[in-house]
Structure 1
């Protein structure tokens, strides 16, 4: 390991380490050991990607927040130096406003902000509670074991985002299957492109229907923007695609991965079960699980548009940045004893949702869904346990969004 990390410090001689780095099989909830070692060496390290290009890896919490909030840092992949994705199979291209800079980013984002405001999201809590309770009823009606991903974790956010957007839930198998292809690291560009086109075409059709027959949903709101000339049909489709994918894939993985982590930390699970009727404690537990785990593990990628001096290093215009929240949230300077899952910790300042103008639009919805799940599941099924060994759980090392493919549980 020493040789492979010899180039970790900005001025060190030797080979530049490759990124991304593999996790240790025995520690599936932790960042890769090599990534943790780079953090120990300093806040900045040059890393090499699949195509031989080099970018700055930002490993520490303070520097990540500073750079994510810096207007000289661009989210536009067309900027010089923007880091390419993890492999030639990843595909490229913009995904609506999250890969744009202001003012266009702000203009488009404002169009879909209202449904994700805290007050609007809180009004959905009883609906989410009914969904969660209904799915638990279905689980308990069976004898187990069951796959918690397919029977519980995936349906919850899918039902919610379908209702918000106005997408028929009966079509969930269609968009979930294509989404799996879109986030699969080993899919070819052709496969990922075809999957994206299929879902985009489907959503474009729904938006087209709303042009003539609007309803009370987000697709109708986007269609109204098209009618008003504020969006093209393609822009509305791209925004709908972003919201559909982000609205179910990340939260579903967090539900399953968080459950598995709690099952591996029974003392923390017992504490959460005991305090499941305390909304403040449950909310704090959600923040700690978001800090401790890491769903998007290839980093937030940016290009530098003007020279920036930080941590004693000048990052020059035209160089790329990769800010990996999984290691930023494990920075001991920000979170003492960071490798320990502690549901009593105040973890609210984590960077799981990013920071600055591009922080996750849907974070109030994700938080609320996770609060309902984590506050309900283990109370209603107190004997919930893993059906098998941890080593047999198929983790998503092959996907851009981390989690588990399946989670066999019994009770």
Structure 2
């Protein structure tokens, strides 16, 4: 067997792997030292991959018209005919597609093209809706485009790292190890953790801020208040590269440290310390993940943090607001537009130029792509229950476990023709009419 290089299919760090055969013919995994982002570093998660590939796999296409019946094996030709018939019977918006940040970029692109370009509905969403939608909107509101403005190499010359609502020591261990290595070679570098829980990441921090859950927007607005009051802002950067500064300051003025500290249930001195870090460090990187995103005011948490970076000019060589992704390719999916409003290349169905470009690129008649976003997967529950959505096609995700308000979602699944396309017999298969076996990591080229 030749040595094969691949990406790890677990968290969003995307570590490079080498797959090889040892002298006894066993398939093994090790880090790829030539990988540009992770240079051979790995955590433990991908090591047992060859042993778990065959456990609980979908054996063949499975079908039942009635969910109370047992599945029977059918051929791929039969499966495709069933799907084609259902899609012909339904109006475009009576179909819904729910896909995943664990797909390859190519998979996400082709499904999005199939749905928005050729079926003619924008009813396609991804499980990134549950974890990354707040970051998507925060970046779009701040920069006009979705995507972290930095790279892992930025870690190597930074001197301050703020982890907000992120236990990266567990969830993104290779990235966190790189941060620890930076502090080891440059002891002046500081790690600050903002988290209600004393996590493994907090254990390694120089400062742990045990904030009251849900009050991060107040905290970062208070930091902005203090930076402005002290004159510690980068006014040249603000003047050249931002807009809406006065509105941001007007909101921040509601939260002087003494008031914010009471709301956040922390000492005012910690807010002063954070303001000094953003004002005087050489280069600050702020990392965050689900503690920010999975919140009723998650988008505003994202924007409040990014605003502090913009107000201090902490972009490029001076810093980065760096959202960490939980899945291996949620960012790739976002880049090809796999949410309800997206088109490839950060384009949007609501933008006439973007829509016209993709119609021409895909060889479609003008007006083929709808200009109104589809409904989100959470909103789709009601449409499935009342019969407006008749078909749900789930690809590479297990919403029967991961969706909010599960009792309601299970009711929606029972009322809908469900296709599950997956490598494994997941919980969602219990609600399926048609199950399609998929290739898993290591079985396809991408």
Question: Which entry has the higher C-alpha Rg, 1 or 2?
Answer: 2
TM-score greater than 0.5 by the shorter chain: no
The answer to which structure has the higher strand fraction is 2
TM-score if structure 1 supplies the norm length?
Answer: 0.29
